[in-house]
Amino acid sequence: MLAKAAIRTVAYSAWTVLIGALTLSCGPTQAQEGAKPPVAADSAALARAQAAMETPHPGKAVYEQSCAACHAHPEATRAPALDALKAMRYQTILYALNEGKMKVQASALSATQKAAVIDYLVGREATSDEWLTTAMCSPERRKVNLDAPATVTGFGFDPKNHRHLTAAQAGLRTADMRNLELAWAMGFPKATQMRSQPAIVGTTLFLPVADAQRAFAIDISGPPCVQWVYSHETPLRTGAAFGQLPNGRKVVVFSDVASKVHMLDAATGQLLWLQAVGLYPLSLTTGTPAIHGDRVYVPISQYEISLGGNDNHECCRTHGAVTALDAITGKPIWTAHTMEEAKPVRDRGDGKMIYGPSGAPIWNSPAIDAKRGVLYVGTGEATSEPAAPTTDAILAIDLKDGRIRWSFQATENDIFLTGCARNRNGLNCPKSSVHRDVDFGASVIVAQRADGSDVILAGQKSGTVWALDPDRNGKLVWRQDFGEGSPLGGIHWGMAYDGTRVFAPINRPYASAAKADGSQKPGLNAVRVDTGAVEWTYTATPDCSGKRAELVKACATNIGFSGAPTVIDGAVVSGSLDGFLHAFDAKTGELLYKFDTARGFDTFNGVTASGGAIDNATIVAANGMLFVSSGYGLFGQMPGNVLLAFKPKAKQAPATTSP
């Protein structure tokens, strides 16, 4: 063991040059990633290696100098913490440094320095995917049956984003929620962000796994197995949407971190087309695309918010959009921009200009209103002055031509850059702003009131639920406030609707996000759609018992309900950042079931797996089973790499006595 370690250390210098050269290409192949350094042959080399073992890893210095300022403060910077980085794949970090979010920050690093920091974080061992060999279905189960109706077709389960499944659709009743047990668990090697919601058709679950750079078709009809695997060199990002094209072909669509949309044949996993939709180098696709008719509607976000606070960055030029693609070919049809192109606004004080307007990213999935011929999306903050009226707003966009029919702005002058939260005097920081970062991250819901009229429901990070009239250009019907919100607080990823109530989760990831008067309480709220009245509230409380105090970061305060909930029959199911899965009675708020996912699990595919924070949108159901992905290693939360399947416990036959 000592000799092996010594050999690896003595060969480090030459090896980093080799890896450094690889970082200049598109990335290592699996064989390159797992290659071993040459063997030192003499005892002098071993002696030198022994001495070298006592010195710090050269990549540690690179990390501490160039990376730690952000990754040591993930709650403020939104960056993965060190433990999350160390759980990632080599290729995930390599892509981030060379092509992805860290490209700008890493531009000053040499190839050797990049190689050193990657080696420090994750080593050079290839991620083994041998588990797929035994997890694949037998030939008779490998064929995907798409004849059954789809249960989950996208983020909102239906075009109006209700996130509501009937008992017949889910195969689960409200009463079953009291009696759940874990049926099986599936692990994914070197995954830290189980962020992507699956689509479900019949007995097949289509799941993109971002870190794995793969999408899986999983047979859930019996003992689980994998029907097909789609692989790509770029990490994936969004949830999966399912639909049928005008030519009858049934497809799955999702986007990746490079703002490319992937359309696959649902039966085989074959790539049909790949279309880049990014408007700028810093564009991003976060919201799940929506398939409607002969088009795919793709929301476009951006990550300039994370870079703009840097004085070396020319701020800011990017903005959000929705793009309509031809569903058969992937070719763009129209793009609805959230604002005009940025122009020079003013000298920022050092002879360089600030550009604006910018911002209004769209990181939620569109709601489709076929009756009115529009789609609805929510936008985010401005990233430079002047703040456009389409920031922190709800937009109604014409399905045919991309015209913005109407918009409703909830918060004016919300100019926000992540770096300015730590240094308000930065050269790019706004001179005047409410500085709240209260996006509409939750997807808009098209609901119906008791009198039959429609209402648009929108959840904002300000902690407010807004009800708007779609027939009066978004005129306000009512609003319900749950505290002040925060950049990560308030209503984060989504809401759900059961026909009478809208369920609004409230996030409070850290104690600093709570008001002194306690008005912002993490948990779940049931709000009457007709009036905006709160019917019941569940307030989360911390649980640091047993090993949870060690496993769950900031377990006393990191207790928010950030992910989108799901309604199943008469129950609403929601997860929390401290890893708990909850099921409530939708009418009364009674807690029916609670399960701790922040722990290790034995998996059917033999991959070491653990759960963590439940965030984004991961809770679905079908075929009498509830599916939950656990683990979200952003914002200082607990990473994880597991898909969990729950089923009702089998009823035991009554005991009999002998005659």
Nearest alpha-carbon partner for 264 in 300, 298, 299, 232: 232
What is the predicted pLDDT for the residue at 367?
98
Average pLDDT over residues 130-140: 95
Q: Return d(Cα 562, Cα 578) in angstroms, integer.
A: 10
Average pLDDT over residues 311-329: 97
What is the predicted pLDDT for the residue at 19?
32
Beta bridge partners of 600: 610
Q: Return d(Cα 310, Cα 305) in angstroms, integer.
A: 10
Average pLDDT over residues 408-413: 98
State the first-to-last Cα distance of the chain, in angstroms, to the nearest integer.
67
The answer to whether the beta carbons of residues 314 and 383 sit under 8 Å apart is no
Average pLDDT over residues 85-96: 73
What is the predicted pLDDT for the residue at 659?
33
Backbone torsions φ then ψ of 254, nearest 5 degrees? -160, 170
The answer to whether the beta carbons of residues 115 and 19 sit under 8 Å apart is yes
- Structure letter (DSSP) for residue 221: S
Higher pLDDT, 81 or 23: 81
Q: Return d(Cα 444, Cα 608) in angstroms, integer.
A: 37
pLDDT band with cut points at 50, 70 and 90 for residue 312:
very high
| Model pTM above 0.75 | yes
- Assess whether pLDDT exceeds 50 at residue 36: no
What is the predicted pLDDT for the residue at 422?
83
pLDDT band with cut points at 50, 70 and 90 for residue 77:
low
Q: Return d(Cα 465, Cα 318) in angstroms, integer.
A: 28
**H-helix segments, 36-89:** 43-52, 58-66, 68-71, 74-77, 82-86
Q: Return d(Cα 625, Cα 620) in angstroms, integer.
A: 9
What is the predicted pLDDT for the residue at 300?
98
Q: Return d(Cα 659, Cα 652) in angstroms, integer.
A: 21
The H or E element containing residue 10 is: helix 2-10
Three-state SS for 281? coil
Average pLDDT over residues 599-624: 97
- Assess whether pLDDT exceeds 90 at residue 478: yes
Nearest alpha-carbon partner for 79 in 92, 70, 69: 70
Higher pLDDT, 486 or 226: 226
- Assess whether pLDDT exceeds 80 at residue 159: yes
pLDDT band with cut points at 50, 70 and 90 for residue 11:
very low
- Assess whether pLDDT exceeds 50 at residue 152: yes
What is the predicted pLDDT for the residue at 76?
63
pLDDT band with cut points at 50, 70 and 90 for residue 58:
confident
Mean pLDDT, rounded, of the chain: 87
- Assess whether pLDDT exceeds 80 at residue 251: yes
